[in-house]
Chains A and B, each alone.
Chain A
Amino acid sequence: DSGVTQTPKHLITATGQRVTLRCSPRSGDLSVYWYQQSLDQGLQFLIQYYNGEERAKGNILERFSAQQFPDLHSELNLSSLELGDSALYFCASSVDRGESPLHFGNGTRLTVT
């Protein structure tokens, strides 16, 4: 168990809808990362937050947004969902801005129908 908790485990929704994925980092970790794993794109970095502030951005669509709250949990919001957004979304956490290894959660499997 990595100590990173992601909810829900599975999510099924329809095109055009909006969903929120939640992540609680390991105790003491200040950084939260979001990654997407899809069949056609593989594993891609989306965004990083450190202690409540956005620190780095990757291939995150404009329809997607994230935030990190004062208690350090993070939410990834996906809107106007398309079939191609179906993927496994991972959250990972680390203790610092970018030197320490990442600890991944078990992911949220999103299916858009």
Chain B
Amino acid sequence: AQTVTQSQPEMSVQEAETVTLSCTYDTSESDYYLFWYKQPPSRQMILVIRQEAYKQQNATENRFSVNFQKAAKSFSLKISDSQLGDAAMYFCAYSFRGGAQKLVFGQGTRLTINP
């Protein structure tokens, strides 16, 4: 079975600084998706970024970028120029490509932004 592990329960960063959240996963599949979701206090799950495993290029969305290391099964999220609105729980997730999006989530990392 696929598993997703986030080893950092909590992280904090100064406003305007850069922070990296870690995620590792385990799968025997070769074609899959990886995601980072953000859950602010409003509790809505918001998609931050998506990476397709067959693409070698790391995905980026404005201030958010990933470091996807397929062989190491590692998928970290870098947030540049951190803003107060980035404070949230961040979840790493996996889904097999070619079927339903049965997302497997990590335990989450709570990110605090210090002004």
User: Which residues of A are in contact with B by a Cβ distance under 8 Å?
Assistant: 2, 31, 33, 35, 42-45, 48, 50, 55-56, 58, 88, 90, 92, 94, 97-99, 101-107, 109
User: Which residues of B are in contact with A by a Cβ distance under 8 Å?
Assistant: 35, 42-47, 50, 91, 93, 95, 97-108
Contact A97 B100 (CB under 8 A): yes
A101 and B107 in contact, given A33-B101, A56-B99 (Cβ under 8 angstroms): no
Question: Hey, which chain B residues are within 8 Å of A45, CB to CB?
Answer: 102-104
Contact A98 B100 (CB under 8 A): yes
Contact A106 B101 (CB under 8 A): no
A2 and B44 in contact, given A42-B108, A43-B91, A101-B50 (Cβ under 8 angstroms): yes
Question: Hey, which chain A residues are within 8 Å of B100, CB to CB?
Answer: 31, 33, 48, 50, 55-56, 97-98
Contact A104 B99 (CB under 8 A): no
Question: Hey, which chain A residues are within 8 Å of B98, CB to CB?
Answer: 98
Out of B35, B44, B108, which one reaches A106, CB within 8 Å?
B44
Interface centre among A31, A42, A43, A107 (most CB of B within 10 A): A43
Question: Hey, which chain A residues are within 8 Å of B102, CB to CB?
Answer: 45, 48, 56, 58
What are 23 A-B interface contacts by the 8 Å CB criterion? Answer: A2-B46, A35-B103, A42-B105, A45-B102, A45-B103, A48-B101, A48-B102, A56-B102, A58-B102, A92-B45, A98-B95, A98-B98, A98-B99, A98-B100, A98-B101, A99-B97, A101-B35, A102-B103, A104-B45, A106-B42, A106-B43, A106-B44, A107-B43
